[in-house]
Chain A
Amino acid sequence: MLSRVADSLYWMSRYLERAEHTVRLLDVNMGLMLDRSGTSAEGRWLRVLEALGNPPDLEWEGDHIQLVRTLTFDDEHPASITACIMSARENARQVRDELSTEQWQRLNRLYHQVTEPNMPGNGNQLEEFLPSVLDGLHLFQGITDTTMTHGEGWQFIQMGRSLERAFATVKLLDIYYHDFFTVSEEAGGNNRYLEWIGLLRCCTAFEAYCRVYTADLSHEWILEFLLLNSDFPHSVRYCIDGLRQALLSVRQSSGRLAADELSRVAGRLQSSLNFAEIREVLEQDTAAYLRGILRQCNQIHDLIYGYYIHYSVHAALSA
């Protein structure tokens, strides 16, 4: 497969995952604003901004509806949902013939939905609009899985999604750990409980969590579930497992078995998550542990690019 094609598919997938994460983050936090709680609006939305990587030129100015509108519709802001979907579609356009017609049409429809939000049927209410975008994103994923050959191109899509999702989950954990996990029950009270539900909802994890641990929330269990659960699609371990599988599959089909460093780094991360115990994670400097995972995710991204996409001609010729 051409490197350019792999590159476009990978980024298409990452942008869509990013859009999905942003939609959920905004939707959940708008919902939480309706509850009267001890959490200040400022603290909440600053956290949202931080979870989105503190996009430049975007500041908390006291009006959360305005902020949500900007993060949804303003295509000038690279972090907005619209901008993400536009970038995803631009990448898809470059490799139109690698995608199925169904995929392309679905993505196009999503694009029109976000770029022309006043079209009939779109609903002017953000509360209705955000879930409908989420539906569109889910449809695209389903169509991708059922209509596209699960070959190398599909594997690059999986890679993009897994990496983006793992990154987003760890980032959220990092922020919440700092604000809510270390505070004692007396200081946080009900407030803390509400925020924990918010965190789980941001990862669509509330119901799945309850099934494992019941509705008893504890910071230890939440961390364990979102970090180390082997079966939940938004847990970091699940994402890294998926990433590793896609990497192995590409390694095989491309015949470039020498992707040593990439295998090593991804394999090490996967093993560390597979064999970790939450007690150990909590005993050490947890924040540093989480940031270590983020760093490894970035490293894996760079290595994928170094091996498959932007390798130097010299390295390729001497290999």
Chain B
Amino acid sequence: MQLRNSESRPQLQSGRRPQLDHPVLDEYFLDHAFDEMFDEQGIVRPHYASLINTFTKLPKEELQRRKQSADLSFLMQGITFTVYGRDEGTERIFPYDLLPRIVTAKEWERIEKGLTQRITALNAFLRDVYTDGKILADGFVPREIVYSCRHFRREMRGLQVPRNVYIAVTGTDLLRLNNGEFVVLEDNLRVPSGVSYMLTSRRVMKRIFPQLFGDYGVRPIEHYTRVLLSTLRSLAPEGRPEPSIVLLTPGIYNSAYFEHTYLARQMGIELVEGRDLVIHDNVVYMRTTAGLKRVDVIYRRVDDDFIDPLSFRSDSMLGVAGLFNAYRAGNVTLANAFGTGLADDKALYAYVPSIIRYYLGEEPLLNNVETYLMTDPAQRQHTIENLDKLVVKAVGESGGYGMLIGPQSTQAERDEFRLCIEANPRNYIAQPTLDFSRAPCLMGSPEAPLIEPRHVDLRPYILYGDKVTIVPGGLTRVALPKGSLVVNSSQGGGSKDTWVLNE
């Protein structure tokens, strides 16, 4: 995900400062983006009072000491990026911020309900599209949107998946708009990552600020791996009461490899690569020193395209030949199922509100970001006329690829995108440039620490087995450079702990 600030937004309103005087807040300016800590009048929101109180009272030496202690803790837990090549061995720690992001019980309740509703509907949608296709027949979602989606898997048609669950693990990206409302930016229904950072930064924060943490009454998240394990277990093929569960990783060159090893260890399941698995008579086995051992559930962190060279990309070295047939035969469960990428297509995203209404008969609790479909002539016309104000995204891409950020683009780039859109309207959508909320972060130098606002998003993790479970928390990603709206870790983004309060 990638968002940039719009130059058309009003300049910082001078004089709008928090009504709290302390040298550490000297650089804290409020603009019209929602501020997580101060309200419009610059008064500290009640749930941030004790946090800011603690941080302003700490002597800077003590603050520095705790920061170092947290660094060390991350290093010791091995929560690091390891860069391959010459520098390897000099491990870099994952960038994080010491101030937790706080979510009130009331805010969380709405997020939790909204996400549960959304995931339930999206799962029902996948089931419907891959079996009866009622929603298509009823015309609530156009057929051409579904069938032209790159992630639609015709091979999944008519397949019965255990418990009808397609999306066992989701990480949905939420943003908070100016009015304080949480909206959904992206549903990541394929192989969402980042949950290990949520778990490990919580452990570090508890050690560094035990008193503050205890006083706040933060809801626990430690049970995530246990719930993930029981979710996976609940999806085992029938007749396998003691299922053997593995995590399938693309291997050491994958950027999320740390997370794969972490989750496998925490769940006590085997971490396998494609070459560890063999298929015989449509049954999946792993090669062990004790011989072949049957595998029942695969928590796969390999994309659809690469998972089975026989059924999908034949040049894939990461997959297992014949895996899809074993899956179709019902001898193994894959979480997530194949073809879930259909439901997080950026064009289909525009239809999610109607999908929720269609299957659940409810109004969506969490809104979408306004989205223009290029397949609609009027919306396309509007977009092309306003390319300099909008963000244009290619539908099948993620991670900030294939994007035009209107306000920061050149005329040549806009011309290029206009041609692309007109050549293949299905491949693009447009959204307004967003100003999402900011949270306080520890900046400045060790000698002169400062608390400054930075833009944040929120990615809660949703598990769907015999029921929907959302661990109260998530990954709060921060755009650490001043003024930046890019939260990707590859581009200077970091993370912070997310505290969901009991009341």
Cross-interface CB contact of A313 among B89, B272, B292, cutoff 8 Å: B292
- A250 touching B89, Cβ below 8 Å: no
Cross-interface CB contact of B288 among A1, A93, A94, A319, cutoff 8 Å: A1
> What's the interface size class on A, roughly?
20 to 34
- B289 touching A6, Cβ below 8 Å: yes
| C-alpha gap A311/B286 in the complex (Å) | 12
B residues in contact with A154, CB < 8 Å: none
Instruction: Tell which of A108-116, A126-134, A179-187 binds the partner.
Output: A108-116
Cross-interface CB contact of A308 among B273, B278, B289, cutoff 8 Å: B289
Cross-interface CB contact of A3 among B78, B261, B276, cutoff 8 Å: B276
| Most chain A Cβ neighbours within 10 Å, of B88, B265, B285, B289 | B289
How close is A4's CB to chain B, nearest CB, in angstroms?
Answer: 5
- A256 touching B290, Cβ below 8 Å: yes
Residue B291 interfacial (CB < 8 Å): yes
Residue A97 interfacial (CB < 8 Å): yes
Q: Per-residue 0/1 for A1-16: is the Cβ within 8 Å of any B Cβ (1 yes, 0 no)? A: 1111010000000000
Chain B, 252-279, CB within 8 A of any chain A CB: 252, 261, 264-265, 270-273, 275-276, 278
Residue B280 interfacial (CB < 8 Å): yes
- A97 touching B265, Cβ below 8 Å: yes
Give the total number of A-B pairs whose CB atoms are below 8 A apart.
60
Residue B287 interfacial (CB < 8 Å): yes
A residues in contact with B89, CB < 8 Å: 105, 108-109, 111-112
> What's the interface size class on B, roughly?
20 to 34
A residues in contact with B270, CB < 8 Å: 2
Q: Per-residue 0/1 for B287-316: is the Cβ within 8 Å of any A Cβ (1 yes, 0 no)? A: 111111000000000000000000000000
Residue A152 interfacial (CB < 8 Å): yes
| C-alpha gap A176/B78 in the complex (Å) | 49
How close is B124's CB to chain A, nearest CB, in angstroms?
Answer: 38
- B278 touching A313, Cβ below 8 Å: yes
Residue A37 interfacial (CB < 8 Å): no
- B289 touching A1, Cβ below 8 Å: yes
How close is B392's CB to chain A, nearest CB, in angstroms?
Answer: 41
| C-alpha gap A152/B291 in the complex (Å) | 14
Residue A34 interfacial (CB < 8 Å): no
- A319 touching B275, Cβ below 8 Å: no
| C-alpha gap A256/B285 in the complex (Å) | 17
Residue A271 interfacial (CB < 8 Å): no
- B290 touching A2, Cβ below 8 Å: no
| C-alpha gap A224/B276 in the complex (Å) | 44
Residue A298 interfacial (CB < 8 Å): no
Cross-interface CB contact of B289 among A3, A93, A105, A319, cutoff 8 Å: A3
Q: Given that A250-B289, A255-B290 are contacting pairs, would A313 and B275 also be in contact in the complex, using a CB cutoff of 8 Å? A: no
24 A-B Cβ contacts within 8 A?
A1-B288, A2-B272, A2-B287, A3-B289, A4-B275, A4-B276, A4-B287, A97-B261, A97-B264, A101-B78, A105-B89, A254-B288, A309-B287, A309-B289, A311-B287, A311-B291, A313-B278, A313-B280, A313-B292, A316-B285, A316-B291, A316-B292, A317-B292, A319-B291
6 closest cross-chain pairs (CB), A and B? A254-B290, A108-B89, A3-B287, A308-B289, A97-B261, A316-B292
Residues of B within 8 A of A (CB): 78, 88-89, 252, 261, 264-265, 270-273, 275-276, 278, 280, 285-292
